[in-house]
Amino acid sequence: MIGLVVRRVAWALVVIWFAITLTFVLTAAVPADPTHALLGPHATPETTARAKAHYCLDEGLVVRYGCWLEGVVQGDLGESYRTRRPVADILGDRIGPTMQLAFAAILIQLLVGVPLGILAAIRRGRWPDRACNLVTLLAQSAPSFVVGTIALYVLAFKLGWFPLSGYGVGGLDRLHHLILPATTLAAAGIAFYARVVRSELVEALSEDYVRTARAKGLPESTVVLRHALRNALGPLVTLIGLDLGVLLGGTVIVESIFAWPGLGREVVQAIVDVDLPLILGTVLVTSIAIAIANLVTDLVLLWLDPRLRERR
C-alpha cells in the first residue's frame, strides 16, 4: 500500500515535470518578444537590452529553462511580464475561485445527474428514461458560451434572480454569485453522470445479490439505493477525478462570461500576452491539482474495492 502510494507520487512528479516542460517549449516557440509587453512601443535598443538582462531574457533557451526550474524549486515562480506581480501571488488569488467553481460544478453534477440516472434506470424504457435521455443529450450538445450568455441574460438580467457578474463578498453572497457560472459549467457534465449511474444500475439490478435482496422482501428503494447504487460508486469516483482535471482547465469560458476571478481567465490573458512566467505558473498549479485529484481518486477506489489492491 505504502509502496503503491510512493510509486504514484513519483509518477505524479513526472507528469507535472512533463506538463511544465511541454508548456515551456510550446510557449518559447511562439515568436513574440516579451520586451514589448515590458517596455511598450518606445523601447530603444539600450532599454531593451537592459530589460532583457534584468528578466534573464538574454540567455539561451536551456539556461532560461534552468533558471526558471531553479526558481520553482526555491518557491519563486517569477514575475508576470504584464503586471510585474509575483506569479505566486497571482496564483494564490486565482486558485480559490476556480476550485470553488469546479467543486460546485461537480456537486451540481452529482446532485442532478445521480437522481436522473437512478430515475432512468428504474423506469428504463419508459418515459422518464426517454425524457432523461433527451435532456442529457441536448445538455451535452450545446456550446457552453451560448448556454452561459443566455442564462446570464434570462436568469440574471430579465428575471433578476442572480447577480450579473463578479465574485461576491461573504458566504451567502458568494453562493449567490456562484450558482449561475457553476450550473453553466455543470450543464454538459450532468449528462455523463446520469449515464454512468444509469448503466451501472441497470447492470446491478440484474445481478444475483440484488435479486436476493429483493427476494428477501426489502423495499425497492432500499434495494436500489443500498445495494445497486453501490455498484456505481467506483465509476462515479473515477469520473469525479477526471472531471476535476477537465474543470480546472476548462473554466476558461465560463469565467470570462461571468467575470469570475479564476485561473482560467487569467491564463487565457497570459497566453494572449505571451506572459511566460504566468503561463508556466498556471500550468504548474493546474497539473499539481490534477495529479492530486488522480492520486486521491486512486486511493478512494482502493478503499472502496480492496480487491484492486491485489491486482496491482
Partner 1 sequence: MTHRGAVVGAILVGLLLVIALLGPHLAGHDPIARDIDRGLSAMGAPLGPSVDALLGTDHLGRDVWARLISGAGTSLWIAGLATLLALVIGLAVGLSAGYAGGWVDGVLMRGVDLVLSFPFLLLAILLAALLREAGLASSTAPVILTLAAVGWTTMARVIRGKAMTIARAEHVTAARALGASPLRIIVRHILPNVAGIVVVIALLGLAQALLAEAALSFLGLGPPPPAASWGRMLFEGRAYYRTSPHLVVAPGIAILVAVVAFNLLGEGLRDLLDPKERR
Partner 2 sequence: MRALALAALLAACNAPSSGPRFRAAGGEPRAGGTLRIAFPGAVSSLDPTIAYDELSFYVLHHLFDTLVDYAPGSFDPIPRLAERWEISDDGRTLRFWLRPGLTFADGKPIAAAHFKYSLERARTTPDSPFGPMLADVVGISAPSDRELVIALGAPNTAFLYVLAMPFATPQREDHVMAAGDNLRRMPLATGPYELGSWDEGQHIVLHEREGYFDPTRNRIGAIDVRENVPRDSQFLMLEAGELDTMMSPTPPDLLWVTSSAAWQPYVHRRSLLTTFGSRFDVTVKPFDDVRVRQALNYALDKSAIVKLLTGTATPAHGILVPGMLGFDDKLAPYPHDPAKAKALLAAAGYPDGFATTYVTTDDADASTLAQSLQADFAEVGVRVTIQQMSFATFATAIGKHGTPFAFVSWLADYPDPSNFLDTRFHSKSISEEGSLNASFYSNPALDALLDSARAERDPAQRAELYRRAERIVHDDAPWLWGYHSIATEVSQPYLKGFDQHPVWLRDFTTAWLDLDVDGERVRR
- Residues at the site binding partner 1, with contacts judged by CB under 8 A: 11, 14-15, 18-19, 22-23, 26-27, 29-32, 125, 129-130, 133, 137-138, 140-146, 149-150, 153, 199, 202-203, 206, 245-246, 248-250, 252-253, 264, 267-268, 271, 279, 282-283, 286-287, 290-291, 294
166 binds partner 2 (CB under 8 A): yes
Shorter beta-carbon distance to partner 2: residue 158 or 311 = 158
- Report the residue number, 86 or 235, with the smaller CB distance to partner 2: 86
Contact 193, 145 (CB under 8 A): no
**DSSP code, position 79:** B
CA-to-CA dists, residue 209 to 66, 200, 205, 302, angstroms = 58, 14, 9, 22
As measured in angstroms, the least distance from the Cβ of 290 to partner 2 is 23
The listed partner (partner 1, partner 2, none) that binds 241, CB under 5 to 8 Å by sort, is none
Give the angle subtended at the CA of 64 by the CAs of 63 and 68, to the nearest 5°: 115
The helix/strand/coil state of 86 is: strand
| Closest CB to partner 2 among residues 21, 140 | 140
Among 156, 218, 295, 301, binds partner 2 (CB under 8 A): 156
The residue whose grid cell reads 428504474 is 122
144 binds partner 2 (CB under 8 A): no
| Per CB under 8 A, 93 contacts partner 2 | yes
Cα–Cα nearest to 88, from 99, 98, 77, 72: 77
152 contributes a contact to partner 2 by CB under 8 A: yes
Alpha helices in 158-251 (DSSP H): 171-205, 208-215, 220-222, 229-250
Residue type, 107: L
The stretch near partner 2 (CB under 8 A) out of 8-16, 117-125, 270-278, 279-287 is 270-278
What does 64 interact with, of partner 1, partner 2, none (CB < 5 to 8 A by kind)?
none
- Work out whether 86 is an interface residue with partner 2 (CB under 8 A): yes
Q: Return all residues near 84 (Cβ < 8 A) that are at least 6 apart.
A: none
Among 154, 220, 222, 225, binds partner 2 (CB under 8 A): 154
Residue 61 binds partner 2, judged by CB under 8 A: no
Beta bridge partners of 86: 79
Q: Is 43 in the site for partner 2 (CB under 8 A)?
A: yes
At 77, give phi and psi (nearest 5°). Answer: -95, 5
Please name the residue that has the C-alpha cell 430515475. Answer: 119
Whether residue 72 contacts residue 284, with contact meaning beta carbons closer than 8 Å, is answered with: yes
Contact flag: residue 47 with partner 2 (CB under 8 A): yes
Using the 8-state DSSP alphabet, how is residue 156 labeled? I
Phi/psi at 79 (5° precision): -120, 145
Write the DSSP string, 251-276. Answer: -HHHHHHHT--SHHHHHHHHHHHT-H
* Cβ proximity to partner 1, 112 vs 196, nearer residue: 196
Q: Give the footprint of partner 2 on this chain (CB under 8 A).
A: 30-45, 47-48, 50-51, 53-55, 82-86, 90, 93-94, 134-135, 138-139, 142, 149-150, 152-154, 156-158, 160, 164-167, 256-257, 259, 261, 265-266, 269, 271-274
